[in-house]
Amino acid sequence: MNTGALPRRVVVTGFGAVTPLGMNAEQSWAAIMDYQLGYRHIDMSAVGIQSRFFGVIDEEPSLKGVPAAIRRRLPRFARLALGAAREAMEMAFHGESPAAYYDLLDCGTIIGSGWAGQDETHLNYEGYLRTGLGSPFGCFLSMPNAATAACSLFWGLRGYQNSPIAACATGTIAIGDAAEVIRSGRASMMLAGAGESLRTDAAVWNIDILRALASEQEDASKACCPFSLDRNGFVLSEGAAVLCLEEREAALARGATIFGEIKGYGNYSDAFDFTAPAEDKIARVKTIQHALQQAGVTAEDIDYINAHGTSTPLNDLNE
């Protein structure tokens, strides 16, 4: 591990995605550029669910080549995440093992999820009540770190690992924390991202009852419209996205293609409410200031801001 000249620079050498818009990052981006919607009308009113628009993935990512000992123990969110991670690793290493360039003890994984295997937990419990038996893999299917474990096992990544659970912020925290691990010299290469899948009636109802999901019943164009006067809530969706991050000098030395750089990261908490943002906005301001300071840039240097954009009045107003 190269621990000289800390803090080190962190670059993106691979990325992957499995979304309702496409089974890989290229398909998803093409659909975005074609202004396609990533959700559709699904009526779940029979089970008391008010929202009508959801983002669902009709296919499963190919897990060909993944040993059954790993594949059979994965809940859907982890299968999506592993599919995205395979795309990122293929882009970064072109079929080679990271062991060709790194000590695998210097390679780690941070894959998070907001609700993890909640679907599988519900289904397994229902099966247990119905038959007196559940899946022998029920324990693994309900573990929030299943995706992290799968990536670590599949590529033999024996370095730093973690599985953040932080609702909508999960994926960003995973990437930020992974960058900090590399920057500090703790690792040379990290997989970082998140996966989510909630499709069972009980899991969807648990979120719908908060009345934060889109209340629009008919017009798809009004189901997700952040910063619009027509805003009425967010659309629940499944999907996964994963980045391959590396220490810059090591990536350059092995001839990797660099797609971007993680320059700064901030992480503070409102410590105010489970769902509502704090009125003083101090934590959000501090987060932005810290990220800018670490990156060595000013607000005027920023060309693009990727807002949370939940399409809820309270959060849109705060943003």
pLDDT digits (tens, 9 = 90+) for 120-179: 999 999 999 999 998 999 999 999 999 999 999 999 999 999 999 999 999 999 999 999
- Angstrom distances, CA of residue 255 to CA of 109, 246, 248, 286: 22, 12, 11, 37
- 275 pLDDT band, cuts 50/70/90, is confident
Q: Give 101-127 pLDDT, tens digit per residue.
A: 999 999 999 999 999 999 999 999 999
Q: Which domains does the chain have, with CATH numbers?
A: 10-262 (3.40.47.10), 266-319 (no CATH)
Residue among 55, 28, 27 at smallest CA distance from 41? 55
Confidence of residue 318 (pLDDT cuts 50, 70, 90): confident
Mean pLDDT of 42-60: 97
Over range 253-275, report the average pLDDT: 95
Read off the pLDDT of each residue in 47-65 and give the average, rounded to a whole number: 96
Averaged pLDDT, 252-261: 98
**Pairwise CA distance, residues 187 & 106, whole Å:** 5
| Span 281-287, average pLDDT | 95
pTM: 0.95
